[in-house]
Amino acid sequence: MTLSSTTPRPLIAGNWKMNGLSTALEEARAVAAALEDEPAAARIAIFPPATLLHRLSQALENSPVLTGGQDCHDKASGAHTGDIAAEMIADAGGKLVICGHSERRCDHGETSEQVAGKAEAAAEAGLEPIVCVGEALATREAGDAVSFVVQQVRDSLPATLAGKAFSVAYEPLWAIGTGKTASVDNIVEMHAAIRGELRSIFGEAGKVVPILYGGSVKPDNAGEILAAAEVGGALVGGASLKAADFLAIIRAAQA
Ligand code: PEP
């Protein structure tokens, strides 16, 4: 998958995390049915638990909703019990993969260098990685949020992504699943800093890499967040689990 030289449509990505049994497929079908009746300005993707990826991809085939994995290994195959290779995600119908979500970084000790390896493996397998970065509350309170996140961007994006389709998601840890969102001023400041780093790594192509915001995006704040400068979409956790809420966020995105 190659990177377009024009500004891409916003991406609204729903991360179901460790939520969802077979019955959850109905929520995704409801999203797809609504978008077929009234197409969205944004690109849409749902990231179910690995157990549902193949079935969800089949259920959404020929619909405007893409699917993806929540993580992938940096190796193509081998003795890594419980892990999933990028090619397996593609084989199950996924088109994208989240790399370096803060819950992976915290729960599994993933470093930015490992995240870069995962993003490289994802692109190699033809997937579009969404590389997550974000600071903890203590880092923000110490006044170090921007320098911390810029360093994470530098360390988490392999140079091999040049010319490939990928996104960065800025997700302050203190805003994920807490109901607290970063202020629009904080988001604009951070996205501008990330854009600067993307341009310094990837040159002209770095100007159009989508930068998503994630952290308690809900129907009532999505419009304001998605309209902010350099916000190229949203990574949505809790509010992506119910079709009505996810659709309201999707409708808030303008092309
Ligand atoms: C996320 O899962 O990346 C996320 C931002 O979660 P929530 O929207 O629930 O804060």
Q: What is the CATH number of the domain that holds 99?
A: 3.20.20.70
| CA of 101, closest atom in ligand 1 | 3
Asked whether residue 32 is domain-assigned, the answer is: no
Asked whether residue 222 is domain-assigned, the answer is: yes
Output the CA 79–ligand 1 centroid distance in Å: 31
At 7 the pLDDT is 78
Whether the CB-CB separation of 131 and 169 falls below 8 Å is answered with yes
At 3 the pLDDT is 46
Give the percent of the chain with pLDDT over 70: 98
Asked whether residue 54 is domain-assigned, the answer is: no
Asked whether residue 33 is domain-assigned, the answer is: no
At 8 the pLDDT is 86
Pocket test for ligand 1, best of 16, 96, 99, 176 (most atoms within 8 A of CB): 176
Rounded Cα distance, 118 and 25, in Å: 27
When divided into structural domains, the chain yields a total of 1
- The pLDDT tens digits for 161-209 are 999 999 999 999 999 999 888 999 999 999 999 999 999 999 999 999 9
- The pLDDT tens digits for 9-25 are 999 999 999 999 999 99
> Which domain covers residue 215, as residue numbers?
86-182+199-231
Mean pLDDT of the chain: 96
Q: Which residues line ligand 1 (CB under 6 A)?
A: 15, 17, 171, 176-177, 214-217, 235-239
Asked whether residue 118 is domain-assigned, the answer is: yes
Rounded Cα distance, 228 and 30, in Å: 28
Is the torsion defined by CA of 166, 167, 173, 176 positive or negative? Answer: negative
Whose CA is closest to 164, among 96, 110, 255, 115? Answer: 96
Rounded Cα distance, 53 and 56, in Å: 5
Is 73 considered catalytic here? no
Confidence at 254, pLDDT banded by 50, 70, 90? confident
Asked whether residue 101 is domain-assigned, the answer is: yes
Asked whether residue 112 is domain-assigned, the answer is: yes
Tokens of 154: 């530098």
- The pLDDT tens digits for 96-145 are 999 999 999 999 999 999 999 999 999 999 999 999 999 999 999 999 99
Where residue 8 falls (left for φ over 0; alpha for ψ -120 to 50; beta otherwise) is beta
The HSE-up count of residue 201 (CA atoms within 13 Å, CB side) is: 23
At 5 the pLDDT is 53
Asked whether residue 187 is domain-assigned, the answer is: no
- The CA-based dihedral angle spanning residues 246, 49, 17, 66, taken in that order and rounded to the nearest 10 degrees: -40
- The pLDDT tens digits for 36-70 are 999 999 999 999 999 999 999 999 999 999 999 99
Output the CA 131–ligand 1 centroid distance in Å: 14
